[in-house]
């Protein structure tokens, strides 16, 4: 074999080797590309699954929060209704106890000591009959209560369950406060019942008037009665809880 043939043979072998190497390199590159794409797709799939899991958890938590908020709103609404009912009950109790100023139709009775001289025999024998006494006030208050008075006051002193109308010497006290003539008695309630109880013939007011006490009666569409300013306390009454 001459040199020329050897050169051609070597050239062909080099070319074949080069082509083989190129084909092998290309095959490896494609394989790497496929593997890389596979890895990339798997990574993306994992990320998508992770975010979906986070979304599902967030959606679940949002649902729980909305349910809790609904319960809170319903509870608040019920509490508001209960609170309003309790407030109304407190208002009614305060009215009954005399702790609230009230107004309504009723009667105003003014009793004034008659200090003018009189030739009346009864007045001459017993001049105190022409003066208002604590017993007179008690009688009128009881008559008003019997006529279903819803609120009563004497000279601005609210009559409550613990009110005492006392006489200390020549001084009359209501709720421990001194009061004097003229005595203004106000009551809220049925004017018809008041009239029947107090102004009937032979009634207590007529007797007082005949004794010489100055009596004035007014029926009013609006009577304002002040609240009780003292403290209502009980020694023996307790809750039965």
Name the more confident of 23 and 77. 23
Residue 238 lies in a domain: no
Do residues 84 and 177 share a domain?
Answer: no
pLDDT exceeds 60 at position 39: no
% of residues, the chain, pLDDT over 70: 55
CATH no. for residue 170?
3.30.70.1880
Residues 187 and 200 in one domain: yes
Residue 120 inside a domain? The answer is yes
When comparing pLDDT for 222 and 83, which is higher?
222
Q: In what order do the strands lie in the sheet with 165-168?
A: 165-168, 171-174, 177-179
143 and 183 in a common domain: yes
User: Is the residue at 239 inside a domain?
Assistant: no
Asked if residue 179 belongs to a domain, the reply is yes
- pLDDT band at residue 203 under the 50/70/90 scheme: confident
Tell me the mean pLDDT in the region 41-54. Answer: 64
**Around Cβ 70, how many Cβ atoms within 10 Å?**
10
**Higher model confidence: residue 202 or residue 216?**
216
Q: CA 92, CA 213: separation in Å to the nearest integer?
A: 37
- What helix, strand, coil percent values describe the chain, rounded to 5? 55, 20, 25
CA torsion through residues 37, 38, 43, 49, sign:
positive
CA distance 30 to 16: 21
Do 67 and 150 lie in one domain? The reply is no
Does the pLDDT value for residue 239 go beyond 90? no
Please say which residue of 77, 97, 117 terminates a domain.
97
Q: How far apart are alpha carbons 122 and 131 in whole angstroms?
A: 13
Q: Average pLDDT for residues 8-19, to the nearest whole number?
A: 63
Mean pLDDT of 157-174: 90
Among left, alpha and beta (phi > 0; psi -120 to 50; other), residue 145 is alpha
State whether 42 and 154 are in the same domain.
Answer: no
pLDDT at 192 over 90: yes
Mark whether 143 and 210 lie in a shared domain.
yes
Sign (positive or negative) of CA dihedral 208, 210, 211, 213: positive
CA–CA dist 20, 184 (Å, integer): 130
- Encode pLDDT of 120-152 as tens digits: 545 555 667 789 999 999 999 999 999 999 999
Per the structure, how many domains does the chain have?
Answer: 2
Clarify whether residues 108 and 212 are in a common domain: yes
43 lies in a domain? yes
Average pLDDT over residues 178-192: 95
Q: State if pTM tops 0.75.
A: no
- Residue 8 sits in which domain range? 1-97
The predicted-structure confidence for 69-127, as pLDDT tens digits, reads as follows 677 667 666 666 666 766 766 666 666 677 889 999 999 999 999 877 555 545 555 66
Q: Is the pLDDT of residue 200 over 80?
A: yes
Average pLDDT of every residue of the chain: 78
Q: Is residue 231 part of a domain?
A: no
d(CA 202, CA 198): 9
**135 belongs to a structural domain:** yes
Q: How far does CA 123 lie from the centroid of its chain?
A: 57
Asked if the structure places residue 202 within a domain, the reply is yes
């Amino acid at each position: 074999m001459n040199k020329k043939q050897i050169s051609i043979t070597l050239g062909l072998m080099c070319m074949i080797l080069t082509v083989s190497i190129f084909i092998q390199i290309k095959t490896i590159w494609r394989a790497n590309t496929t593997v890389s794409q596979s890895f990339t797709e798997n990574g993306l799939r994992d990320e998508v699954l992770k975010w979906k899991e986070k979304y599902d958890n967030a959606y679940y938590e949002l649902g729980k929060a909305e349910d809790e908020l609904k319960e809170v709103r319903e509870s608040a609404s019920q509490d508001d209704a209960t609170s309003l009912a309790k407030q109304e009950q407190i208002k009614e109790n305060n009215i009954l106890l005399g702790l609230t100023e009230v107004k309504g139709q009723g009667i105003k009775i003014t009793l004034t000591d008659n200090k003018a001289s009189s030739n009346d025999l009864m007045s001459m024998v017993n001049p105190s009959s022409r003066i208002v006494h604590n017993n007179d006030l008690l009688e009128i208050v009881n008559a008003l209560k019997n006529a279903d008075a819803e609120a009563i006051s004497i000279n601005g002193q609210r009559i409550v369950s613990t009110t005492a109308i006392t006489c200390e010497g020549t001084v009359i006290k209501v709720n421990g406060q001194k009061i004097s003539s003229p005595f203004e008695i106000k009551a809220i309630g049925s004017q018809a019942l008041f009239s029947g109880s107090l102004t009937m013939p032979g009634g207590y007011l007529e007797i007082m008037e005949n004794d010489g006490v100055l009596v004035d009666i007014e029926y009013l569409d609006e009577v304002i009665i002040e609240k009780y300013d003292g403290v209502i306390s009980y020694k023996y009454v307790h809750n039965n809880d």
